[in-house]
Amino acid sequence: MKLLDTTLRDGNQAIRKGLGQKLDSQIDLFRQYALAASEFGMQYIEAGIPISGPRAQRIVGSIAFDHRERAETCILGFARAKQQDIDLTAKTVEPAARKGIALLTSVSDLQLKKFGIVAGKETPGKRSAMLEQFRKSVAYASAQNIDELLVYLEDSTRADIRYLMDLSAAFIEAGATIISVPDTVGHINDPEAYAEFLQELKEGTPGHETVQWSAHLHNDRGIAVANALIAAKRKLMDIVEGTINGEGERAGNLALLTYLLCTEVEGYSSYPEHARMEGMTPERLKNAEKVSALGSWALNIERSPYQPGVGEYVHRTAAGMHQDGILKEPRMFASYDPNVIGVDIRTPFVFSDQSGHKGLRAILEAKGITLSDEKLRKTYLDAYQMSLLLGGSVTDSLLEATAWEAQRNGNPAVLEVKYDELSITYAKREDRHIAPYVEIIGTLQVHGNDHPFSGRGDGPTSAFVEGIGHVLRDDFGIYIDVREWIEKAVTHDTIGRGEEEGDTEEKEKLGREAPVWGIVRMNVGDEQVDGYGHDPNATYASFKACLQALNRWCTTKQACLTSPLDSGDATTAL
């Protein structure tokens, strides 16, 4: 089976918020993707639509140029059945060692309504006129300096089958080398039906054995890959088309990566050789994740965390029972080894309110953190609470923070604040058009030494960070900034799943004494650190979260902060 990758053409038609890329940047990303796809073994790459504008012309032309010595991959440019499209497309793909045109013909009665030249005619007249028009375009395209001419039978699954046979026979006679049979709107709702449709079309088309047949499937009903797999097993097609991650209009196109997961990766069934990708090797298959990622970056379409094969969560679990099983047998809840497609999983576990102690220990140990049973229990209590407050999984960075807190065990940290001495003033500006501000005055202790500070901000946390930031910057040469923070009130019960009675009692006590939790993400120098804190006072909870993040950084960096900078000294006191 040959693969035709239309990520850069059909995938590029997907709706998204915006490319957010400058022209040169987009061209570079598209070129990188095309090169990676050809190295992966894609036999055809549909690079774009030259007639759509200068940007597309540059992209297709650049990709063709990059493949001037890569004859194993054919670079296709998309064109409508119009002479000006065909001329420009042939010229644009000309630099490629192997090149072709993907020519669109719209064949259902619904699609024929868009052509003005047949307006007012009855259906038979429309079909006859457009067949002749399309035949001339195919003949004209085949006369260009190209190696392949693919002709799309757009919306074929809603077209009259006899008309499709007449069209296909005419196109083959006019010089087409590939007949593509698109299920343009995902009209097929039964994979068996698409195979039967293909079989009837091929058998009823004179000369069908002289060309290659290609399946172009959209995923509106979620069965695009299934449609292709059945047709491939029955040897009804030579080429399967799609986008690497299933990108495309509406519900997207067939996902080539998912097709390969079925045909190339060990599973319940084995596929015959003609259904498997031509030229694919285990070494090439290990680049699947890289190609998938490049496709996502090029199109600026984030991959779903649940995408088969490469999604962030598909090889990981937060369920305590599954985590326990995987610790006993790694393949217990895994169909295949993700390394075969180039996915490297350091730990298959994520922590959530569904997780247990064993899973948490495994996550931490994978990061080089070993805890006693008692400290693991304390770590679990905080991690569990955050999972409920955040309404989902807890990041590994926050899990490291819970372990750090358990290891500290209440001992003094490098940085402390005298909360009972803080002065917090909520002030209004004289000009009512200027927003009010908050001013904080207090003392930051560094290894027990007092450093007075003051700061202003539009809220207590920003004022607090500005104040202690002045101390760290002016006295120690350390620059800090808060990227984001949240405050969450405890409104739920704090009983964990599968916990002992003593743990339950401590969780309930924790919930009563700490009704508000603050969670923060900070920049310390050029590094990012997460922290959390809890307190009956929401403001203090955020302050404590900031201090914890800073203290974690000090511990990790072994920053002593004992020698304030002398005047004019620009080095960090570490």
**Widest pairwise Cα distance in the chain:** 93
Q: The whole model's pTM is what?
A: 0.87
With a pLDDT cut of 70, the percent of the chain lying above it is 91
- Is the pLDDT at 431 greater than 80? The verdict is no
Retrieve residue 124's tokens: 């038979």
Report which of 179, 255, 262 is spatially closest to residue 223, judged by C-alpha positions.
Answer: 255
**328-341 core/surface letters (b: 16 or more CB in 10 A; e: else):** eeeeeeeeeebebb
Say yes or no to pLDDT of 205 above 70: yes
**Over residues 47-64, mean pLDDT:** 97
Distance (Å, rounded) from C-alpha 298 to C-alpha 7?
9
> What average pLDDT score do residues 436-454 get?
92
pLDDT of amino acid 295: 98
Burial of 270: CB neighbours in 10 Å, binned 0-12, 13-18, 19+:
exposed
Rounded CA separation 521/398 (Å) = 10
For the chain, which domains are there? 2-299 (3.20.20.70), 320-407 (no CATH), 415-557 (3.30.160.270)
Choice between 79 and 511, residue whose per-residue pLDDT is larger: 79
Predicted local distance difference test score (pLDDT) of residue 445? 93
Q: Give the separation between CA 217 and CA 156, rounded to whole angstroms.
A: 11
The 3 state secondary structure assigned to 147-204 is: CEEEEEEECHHHCCHHHHHHHHHHHHHHCCCEEEEEECCCCCCCHHHHHHHHHHHHHC
Q: How far apart are CA 438 and CA 419, in angstroms?
A: 16
Cβ atoms of 78 and 180 within 8 Å: the answer is no
Q: What is the pLDDT of residue 485?
A: 86
Return the ∠ at Cα 41 (arms to 35 and 46), rounded to 5°. 60
pLDDT at 555: 84
Q: Which amino acid is it at 422?
A: L
Residue indicated by tokens 């290659």: 212
Question: Long-range contact list for 305-312, CB < 8 A, 24+ apart?
Answer: 307/245, 307/246, 307/255, 307/257, 308/255, 308/257, 308/258, 308/261, 309/257, 309/258, 309/261, 309/338, 309/341, 309/343, 310/245, 310/257, 310/341, 310/343
What is the model's pLDDT at position 509?
Answer: 47
**Is 159 in contact with 153 (CB distance < 8 Å)?**
yes
212-246: string of b/e by CB count within 10 Å (b at 16+)? Answer: bbbbbbbbbbebbbbbbbbbbebebbbbbbbbbbb
Question: CA 256, CA 96: separation in Å to the nearest integer?
Answer: 23
Q: How far apart are the C-alpha atoms of 563 and 475, rounded to whole Å?
A: 8
Q: C-alpha dihedral over 398, 403, 407, 409, to 10 degrees?
A: 70
Give the pLDDT score at 436. Answer: 79
Is the pLDDT assigned to residue 392 strictly greater than 90?
A: no
Separation of alpha carbons 96 and 56, rounded Å:
16
CB 45 within 8 A of CB 71: no
The whole-number pLDDT of residue 411 equals 87
pLDDT tier at 571, thresholds 50, 70, 90: very low
